[in-house]
């Protein structure tokens, strides 16, 4: 564990951080050693009763759930969204075999139901007051998009926002994706004004590597790193997430053009990314402001993509989009309308679930095709194309322990960079007098997946604290493993205890921002948040998106 933390610290060098998810096909990373202290946590219950720490428990990595959840968008022959359908209007097939629908729910925006539109201004507010609300994450892709197209995309987004009310129908997060990092320009908010202000503050990137074919693999690695980061960061919010990716994404990689070991490693990354996006309820929409056309796949008379495996011969950004149930949209003259169509698909949808009728052990590494059928020949149902059961169960690939180590390294490294709030483990961060040199972090004990062992609830979390100055220079770093040891609860009592940990700051350093990351070593969930010691609008930190890294 200590070596993995040291490895995370060694990855703060730009591109290397983003390519750790593709480490085998692309490059290796230097590993160093470090001795880091182990603090004793304070664990309290609602009554304030303290618990004692315990020894480290084994690392486990699993994201499996046998319940398949589908968010389905239905449109008529003219492309308009269809509401008012019932469970009996749908049927589901997996691998051509009919499945029993376990649950059904229809979601429509508050503006159409007359309900109150919630006012949200942060991830914390979203998870506290509207935990089931669908959200939209707009990603400005600066990886391969031409500089002039980036400006057109920004203009189109401003034009779309100009048609919306001052309070948006759903919370929106604005993100920019460069070669080196994901920049959160605006955390979840329903304020149109805040989104526009964040968009205007950010300068579009003009990285010379964007159009250089020599960096094509780095483009792919950065895009996948961003998708995985979004999935891990938002997994604590159970509501549906619509990711609207404005840009070109990446070009196709043909499996038969790559050495076998590279193809295998990239295919494995694709499978992991698809499953993480599924678990996080993410639907991906791609809008190319340059209007480049691509192969939309084989389409039947109802507009349904006829394909058994979207990654059978190659992987491109459009295949990732189709796999999640989204759409690729092209046509630069109406990008603002395309943004509106993508957002609307995340506001009006049906949620269905089923339990597969055949076990995961049957071809666990094979992509399982899902088909959602809606009654009436004029209606088209769009949902994710399928999933990889073996990846979710953690059994499809060899050397599971090594893969778990790679996953942990990437999780920590991606959570340490940038400003995105990770809510898999919801954090409450405070700095109180008379101890201004101490940061207090608390989180629910229920979020970290403690296991009953020898009559105690046990588990480990990894805590990383990073301190930056106003320009984004890393001033100090600290990483440690914290062992948790709680008394079991009486039968029937819900887990309501909070775990509290303190982390020290060096008062001699000109610290402007502190990044705090907690990762459960039991269930792999991550919490990450920022503590600003100065007004964040005054920072010239690349992570804020106010100044691009040269």
Would you give the distance in Å from CA 212 to the centre of its chain?
27
Residues of CATH 3.40.50.410 domain(s) within the chain?
A: 68-393
Which token pair is 347?
């506001």
The structure tokens 């039947």 sit at 300
pLDDT at res. 33: 28
CB 212 within 8 Å of CB 395: no
Q: What is the number of helices (H) and of strands (E) in the chain?
A: 13, 27
The three-state secondary structure class of 155 is: helix
Specify the CATH superfamily of domain 2-62+412-544. Interleukin-17 receptor A/B, fibronectin-III-like domain 2 (2.60.40.2150)
pLDDT at res. 30: 28
pLDDT at res. 234: 92
Starting from the edge strand earliest in sequence, which strands make up the sheet with 349-354, in order? 101-107, 349-354, 68-75, 380-382
Which token pair is 450?
């403690």
Element (H, E) at 17: helix 15-18
Which token pair is 369?
């095709």
- Neighbouring CB atoms inside 10 A of 343's CB total 22
Say what the alpha-carbon torsion angle 160, 162, 167, 168 is, to the nearest 10 degrees. 0
Q: Which residues of 191-220 are buried (b: 16+ CB within 10 A; e: fewer)?
A: bbebbbebbeebebbebebbeeeebebbbb
Among residues 370, 391, 374, 372, the alpha carbon closest in space to that of 308 is found at 370
CB 433 within 8 Å of CB 244: no
- Neighbouring CB atoms inside 10 A of 480's CB total 18
Phi, psi (deg, nearest 5) at residue 346: -95, 0
Q: How far apart are CA 182 and CA 199, in angstroms?
A: 15
Which token pair is 18?
């983003």
Upper half-sphere CA count for residue 455 (Cβ side, 13 Å): 0
Phi, psi (deg, nearest 5) at residue 60: -135, 150
Q: How far apart are CA 410 and CA 123, in angstroms?
A: 22
Residues 6+ positions from 297 with CB-CB distance below 8 Å: 305, 306, 307, 310, 322
The structure tokens 């979601």 sit at 107
Q: Which residues of 256-270 are buried (b: 16+ CB within 10 A; e: fewer)?
A: eebeeebbebbbbbb
Given CATH 3.30.565.10, say whether it is the number of domain 68-393: no
The three-state secondary structure class of 204 is: coil
Whether the link from the prior residue into 540 is cis, omega within 30° of 0, is: no
pLDDT at res. 447: 92
Residue 137 zone, left/alpha/beta (φ > 0; ψ -120 to 50; rest): beta
CA distances from 265 to 216, 261, 262, 367 (A): 17, 6, 5, 16
- Neighbouring CB atoms inside 10 A of 65's CB total 12
The three-state secondary structure class of 544 is: helix
Q: How far apart are CA 437 and CA 298, in angstroms?
A: 61
Among residues 213, 231, 227, the alpha carbon closest in space to that of 144 is found at 213
pLDDT at res. 4: 56
Residues of CATH 2.60.40.2150 domain(s) within the chain?
A: 2-62+412-544
pLDDT at res. 277: 92
pLDDT at res. 7: 55
pLDDT at res. 253: 80
Which token pair is 407?
């996953």
Among residues 113, 139, 127, the alpha carbon closest in space to that of 282 is found at 139
Residue numbers in the chain where pLDDT is lower than 50 = 11-40, 44-64, 293-306, 393-402, 548-550
Residues 6+ positions from 511 with CB-CB distance below 8 Å: 467, 468, 469, 475, 476, 505, 533
């Amino acid at each position: 564990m200590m070596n993995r933390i040291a490895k995370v610290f060694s990855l703060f060098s730009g591109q290397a951080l983003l390519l750790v998810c593709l480490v085998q096909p692309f490059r290796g990373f230097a590993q160093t050693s470090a001795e880091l202290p182990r603090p004793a946590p304070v664990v309290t219950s609602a009554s304030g009763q303290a618990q004692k720490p315990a020894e480290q428990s084994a690392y486990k990595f699993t994201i499996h759930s046998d319940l398949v959840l589908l968010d389905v968008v239905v449109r008529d022959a003219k492309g308009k969204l269809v509401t008012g359908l019932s469970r009996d209007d749908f049927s589901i097939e997996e691998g051509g075999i009919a499945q029993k629908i376990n649950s059904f729910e229809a979601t429509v925006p508050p503006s159409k139901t007359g309900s109150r539109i919630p006012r949200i201004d942060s991830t914390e507010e979203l998870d506290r007051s509207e935990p089931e609300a669908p959200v939209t994450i707009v990603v400005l892709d600066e990886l391969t998009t031409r500089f002039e197209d980036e400006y057109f995309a920004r203009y189109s987004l401003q034009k779309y926002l100009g048609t919306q009310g001052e309070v948006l129908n759903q919370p929106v997060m604005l993100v920019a994706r460069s070669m080196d990092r994901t920049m959160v320009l605006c955390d979840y908010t329903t304020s149109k004004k805040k989104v526009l202000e964040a968009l205007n503050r950010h300068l579009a990137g003009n990285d010379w590597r964007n159009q250089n074919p020599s960096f094509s693999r780095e483009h792919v690695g950065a895009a996948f790193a961003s998708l995985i980061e979004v999935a891990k960061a938002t997994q604590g919010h159970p509501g549906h997430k619509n990711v609207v990716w404005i840009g070109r994404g990446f070009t196709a990689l043909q499996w038969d053009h790559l050495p076998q070991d590279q193809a295998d490693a990239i295919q494995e990354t694709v499978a992991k990314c698809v499953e993480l996006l599924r678990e996080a309820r993410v639907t991906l929409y791609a809008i190319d402001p340059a209007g480049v056309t691509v192969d939309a796949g084989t389409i039947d008379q109802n507009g349904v993509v006829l394909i058994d495996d979207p990654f059978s011969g190659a992987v491109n950004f459009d295949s990732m989009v189709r796999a999640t149930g989204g759409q690729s949209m092209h046509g630069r003259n109406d990008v603002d309308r395309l943004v509106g169509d993508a957002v609307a698909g995340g506001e009006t949808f049906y949620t269905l679930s089923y339990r597969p009728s055949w076990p995961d052990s049957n071809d666990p590494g094979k992509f399982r095709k899902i088909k959602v059928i809606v009654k009436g020949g004029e209606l088209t149902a769009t949902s994710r194309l399928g999933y990889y059961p073996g990846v979710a169960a953690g059994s499809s690939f060899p050397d599971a322990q090594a893969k778990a180590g790679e996953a942990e390294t990437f999780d920590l490294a991606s959570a340490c960079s940038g400003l995105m709030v990770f809510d898999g483990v919801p954090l409450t961060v405070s700095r109180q007098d008379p101890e201004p040199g101490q940061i207090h972090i608390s989180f629910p004990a229920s979020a970290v997946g403690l296991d009953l062992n020898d009559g105690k609830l046990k588990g480990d979390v990894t805590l990383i604290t990073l301190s930056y100055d106003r320009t984004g220079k890393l001033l100090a770093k600290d990483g440690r493993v914290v062992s948790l040891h709680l008394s079991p609860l009486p039968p029937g009592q819900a887990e309501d205890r909070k775990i509290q940990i303190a982390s020290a700051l060096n008062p001699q350093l000109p610290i402007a921002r502190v990044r705090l990351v907690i990762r459960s070593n039991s269930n792999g969930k991550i919490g990450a948040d920022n503590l600003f010691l100065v007004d964040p609008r005054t920072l010239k930190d690349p992570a804020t998106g106010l100044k691009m890294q040269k």
